[in-house]
Structure 1
Amino acid sequence: MTTATNTPIVFIHGYGSEGRNTPIHDIYGELPQQIAHSLGQKVVSINLSRWISLSDGIHLEDVSFALERALRSPSYQHLLDQGFRCIVHSTGALVIRHWLKEYSPKPSPLNKVIYLAGAFFGSGLAHMGMGQLSRWAHIIFKGTSTGLPSLRSLEFGANVTIDLHQYFLQAHHSLRDDFGVYEYCMVGSQTLPALRMIPNRYVKEDSSDCTLRTASANANFNYFEITYTPEGSRLSAQILQEHIRARCANQALPSQLYKLTVLHQADQAPQVPYALLYETAHIGDAIGIMEGRRNRTQVLPRIKEALTCNNTPNTQQHLMDKWQKITEKTLNRAAKLKQRLNEWNPQSQYEAHSQVIFRVRDQFGRDINEHDITFKSHAKKNSLALPLLIEDKIKNSLSQGNTTYYFRVQHFEKGELTDRLANIAPITLEITGVEPKSPDMHYLPVMLPLSAKKLRALIQPFKTSIVDVILLRLPSHKVFALTQASVVPDL
């Protein structure tokens, strides 16, 4: 049986790494050799995978099944028999998690996964990538198609991805406690100079690495549910109409019609160590997280720490604390950056953001495509309380009931990092759905007050929150009516 320090390592790349004739070295660069040298061992079994992500006919399920078949082959059966570790980049996070869900026994032969900018909760480039310009670029320059199924999995608010991560929150499916898998996340917050002139926000967003948001690359996420109460379900059609008219007139509704339930908080055990690395981007031979030259002192020590630490909760907690200090050190270094006249403010690239994904459905599980979400701030004039600062809002193309919001929660001011959430003002969350195809179907609106404390639980730096909203869909009295018949008895 192999020991923890010499267990074989399997590399899994991300979306778009392979073209028609891409050499394996161009995918992983010098990282495998650097890791072998860093571990200081004479023999380290390193296995470099490659998978097709740029084909419109290949889905995530196909890739994870193909991974299972490769592991079952005579050449690599020893990985399943003796155990192995994984280092994955970007979309490789979805591949390995899907494999764990569908094919891994418990405990798993996979005992460690190190995510280099793991694509847990979507990328804005997936929305841009489905455009015709991107399709032609892939055909001309890489000799491939776009990889539409992979892009769909990478969209913000993709159900297939959210459901995958929620699976491991369920009883008896914990990655650490049931599968025995210890995970580690690291990501940068820097874009590439060549991308700054491109007129698309997602290649140069603050708190992103030119491809992924720092919140999207964090496996620690929050999960909430907003659902109607028994009092809401007993409303008559007449009272419902009155509530809808009141909502349209911007009048208050009873708050007890809906409730917010916390199903999982990111700070609940087991947590995953997470590090924000300085001057690190998603790709690039200078500062790319996998192949960059200038950031090796940021990336390699973290990989070595994750590879060599013991798989115990105490060791995991120790590494979590250490990587939190790495994140703080990154932010302290960013505080000293100076803005140039011909450049944007480099500090803003490091200001923490938060991502919140709302999935709005009815009680039957159907998407409510026509809906609006409003955050009504109660910040008063001349008050120190701050309103929410929304940076972006985007719907999922397949599930129009899913909307992702991006909030700025930190701000550098005179070299000091200000926490905008510390003095956040309470809000009222308002959600209204419409059935455009029938005047006899209505949704009970949500008007839910959220205190500053609840907002800080929902919106957290460098993290994603999933909010499943169940809007009560109610019919008018015309949809089904019963009339008592007048029966004349026979004489």
Structure 2
Amino acid sequence: MTTLVFVHGWSVTDTSTYGTLPAQLQQQSAHQGLNLRLVDICLSQYVSFDDAVTMADLVRAFDHALADLQLGDEGFACITHSTGGPLVRQWLRARRGQPTTYRALRLTHLVMLAPANFGSALAQLGKGALGKLKAWWNGIEPGQRILDWLELGSAESLALNLDHIHGDDPAEQDHYQFVLTGDRPDRTFYDHINSYTGETGSDGVVRMASANLNARHAVLTHAGTVAGIDTLQMNVTRAPRTAFRLISGASHSGAAHGIMAHGATETIDCILRCLAVRDTAGYRLLCQAFDRDNALRDRDRVELETVGPFEPRVHIHDPRSQLIMRLTDETGEVLADSRVLLRAGLPPNPDWMPQGFMLDRQANRRAKHVISLFLNHSLLAGSERIADPRQGRRTLRAAMASHSPYSLCVQPAILNGLVHHTIASSHQDDDLLDVLGPHETTVLDIVMPRKVREGVFRLTRDLSPQDFSHPEPGKDIV
């Protein structure tokens, strides 16, 4: 017998959001030997649409609600959708950091459906006029504090994910995490005012790279100065491996194509495969099996969208990468007005970057120095010819070679003054492509050296009055 807790996403106001998924899991689980009974399935009803509620509030309330289940030593499993994924992960982190405050309950399996682990590009829209209008129409608030968490590059989401990247492997502690996410938007839900709802590389709400926990943290720090230009060298940490599976043809939500309703066959099969894992070896094997499934999906990447009486609209589902950049100096001061140029080839040239590689750029509203870039990984890595599925000899896109190595150059806003920064470039031996993975997110911290000149503080033996309102800058302090 397994206790199974379902946790929904942001702005949900009715448990009908789970559809028939719980009942179908109950019916089909017998084939996997899990023997789930309806009394063992719990549906969450948490409030995310109140502007006063924070993620920390939800974590506390979730912990309190679990007490009602009277769970034994066997623990429980959890299936989440969208914001529910990071919510439960925040609970796990809080429980680890404050063991005397939160209950020592054993969560064996965390199966996340379309989780907004690194946030959603739509979160900014939710806080805008359209989101507020929709919330007003439905008689609810937009859930401002939860949307702040969900913004790409928010301090809260990055803290959670960096803790995961640098933390221990959950699978080694008999806790197994899984990410299942749709691979395309539901075109019938496309909002012509907001193109994010039809963004290729997402399920219409959450990017595949944002869902995936197989992430990296790269840090560029000062390695030397040559001819007045600072060199930044890269150090990279990769997260513990997490099982990740793309659900073909599924979108974020909706009765027809939503991941909790989409044919349900593939989603349910994958969930049951996840719940059947009993040890670390079995978890590793499932990770490998999911990787093979994803590789097959990525080879069949052409979608033909019906457009009334006209020619079908072509969508090429290239694997995408998400790069979240934070630019500070070595004292932690943010450098919001600096420019970061991506460059290709040798010698490095920004004009040699592949055409169409940059798909989106979004700055976090509360932290302007945090920029999220959405990149076409296939164009950066090189792509084979894409044939037209309707006529194999016809080419939709010709083969493209990679333009690597890729580097970056930072151009600070203040190059002179008592306190300033100088132009900096990544080290010639570091290729940015090496830290970008298909369907993955990389957090890139660029840490610039801070230059302080001698004129900031001087001592004099001359006791006569002296005006130093216009100090001579002098040399940089070494």
Indicate the TM-score class for this superposition, using the shorter chain for normalisation. Answer: 0.7 to 0.9
Q: Match of 2:458?
A: 481
Taking a change above 3 Å as real, the CA distance of residues 8 and 392 of structure 1, as seen in their structure-2 partners, is same
Distance in 1 (alpha carbons) for counterparts of 2:341 and 2:365: 21
Q: Which residue of 1 is the match for residue 441 of structure 2?
A: 464
Please state whether the residue corresponding to 1:407 is helix, strand or coil.
strand
The one of 10, 13, 22 aligned to 1:32: 22
Kindly report which structure 2 residues correspond to 1:234-273, keeping only aligned pairs within 5 A, or say none.
243=228, 253=229, 257-262=231-236, 264-265=237-238, 270-273=240-243
Tell me whether 467-476 or 146-155 shows the greater mean CA deviation. Answer: 467-476
Tell me: CA distance 1:287–1:138, structure 2 relative to 1, closer, same or farther (3 Å): same
- Pairing 1:195-344 to 2, within 5 Å after superposition: 195-196=189-190, 198-229=192-223, 231=224, 243=228, 253=229, 257-262=231-236, 264-265=237-238, 270-292=240-262, 295-312=263-280, 314-335=281-302, 337=304, 342=310
For residue 36 of structure 1, report the CA deviation from its aligned partner. Answer: 0.6
Secondary structure of the structure 2 residue equivalent to 1:177: helix
Match among 41, 50, 53 for residue 48 of structure 2: 53
Shift in Å, 1:483? 2.6
Distance 1:223 1:153 in 2: 19
Q: Decide whether the 8 Å contact of 1:409 with 1:420 is kept in 2.
A: no
After superposition, the C-alpha distances for 1:420-479 in whole angstroms (9 at most, x for unaligned) are 89723223311123359x94321233211456x733322211000011111122233332
Deviations 1:370-394 (A, max 9, x none): 12110122279xxxx9737111111
Residues 119 and 150, structure 2, Cα contact 8 Å, conserved in 1: yes
126, 130, 134: which one pairs with 1:129? Answer: 126
Counterpart-to-counterpart distance in 2, 1:419 and 1:485: 74
Residue type matched to 2:115 in 1?
A: G
Which deviations, in whole Å up to 9, do the C-alpha atoms of 1:108-166 show, x marking residues without a partner?
6001100101111121110111112211210112x111111111111111111011111
Across the aligned residues of Structure 1 and Structure 2, the Cα RMSD in angstroms comes to 3.0
Q: Distance in 2 between matches of 1:204 and 1:84?
A: 36
Q: Which amino acid aligns with 1:403?
A: I
Kept in 1: contact 2:191–2:198 (CA 8 A): no
Rounded to whole Å, the distance in 1 between the matches of 2:274 and 2:448 is 43
Structure 2: distance between partners of 1:479 and 1:360: 24
TM-score (norm 2): 0.84
The one-letter code of the counterpart of 1:88 is T
Alignment partner of 2:403 out of 405, 424, 427: 424
Report the CA distance between 1:37 and its aligned residue.
Answer: 0.8
Structure 2 distance, partners of 1:93, 1:396, is: 21
The C-alpha deviation readout for 1:350-403, integer Å capped at 9, x for no partner, is 2111000111112222322212110122279xxxx9737111111111111111
What's the CA shift for 1:199?
2.6
Provide the C-alpha distance between the structure 2 equivalents of 1:302 and 1:481, rounded to a whole number of angstroms. Answer: 68
Q: Is the 8 A contact 1:445 1:471 kept in 2?
A: no
Question: What is the identity, as a one-letter code, of the residue corresponding to 2:232?
Answer: Y
Instruction: Indicate whether 1:454 and 2:431 are aligned.
Output: yes
Q: Name stretches of at least 5 consecutive residues in structure 1 with no aligned partner.
A: 1-5, 233-238, 244-252
> Once structures 1 and 2 are overlaid, which stretch shifts more, 84-93 or 190-199?
190-199
Q: In the alignment, is residue 442 of structure 1 matched against residue 383 of structure 2?
A: no
The alignment partner of 1:88 has SS state of: strand
CA contact (8 A) 1:168 1:175 kept: no
Give the direction of change, closer, same or farther, for the CA distance of 1:429–1:420 in structure 2 (3 Å limit).
farther
Cα distance in 1, alignment partners of residues 329 and 289 from structure 2: 43
**C-alpha distance in structure 2 between counterparts of 1:336 and 1:139, whole Å:** 36
Gaps of 5+ in 2: 389-394, 465-478
Q: CA deviation at 1:327?
A: 1.6
Question: Which is strand-richer, 1 or 2?
Answer: 2
* 1:207-232 Cα distance to aligned partner (Å, 9 max, x none): 11000111001011011101123x45
Distance in 2 between residues matched to 1:12 and 1:271, nearest whole Å: 23
Check whether the contact 1:427–1:449 (CA below 8 A) recurs between aligned residues. Answer: no
State the 1:42 CA deviation: 6.2
Instruction: Identify if the C-alpha distance between structure 1 residues 414 and 318 changes in structure 2 by more than 3 Å, giving closer, same or farther.
Output: same
Of all paired residues, the percent bearing the same amino acid is 24
2:175 to 177, 181, 192: 181
> 1:87 touches 1:113 (CA, 8 Å); kept in 2?
yes
- What do residues 150-206 of structure 1 show as CA deviations (whole Å, max 9, x unaligned)? 1111111111101111113345x443334x321111111221223335132211111
CA-CA distance at 1:7 after TM superposition: 2.0
1:402 aligned partner: 370
Q: In terms of mean alpha carbon deviation, does 322-331 or 49-58 score higher?
A: 322-331
Structure 2 counterpart of 1:149, from 145, 149, 164: 145
Asked if the contact 2:407–2:431 (Cα under 8 Å) also holds between the matched residues in 1, the reply is no
1:371 and 1:344 mapped to 2: Cα distance? Answer: 42
Structure 1 Cα separation of the partners of residues 303 and 187 of structure 2: 19
TM-score, scaled relative to structure 1? 0.82
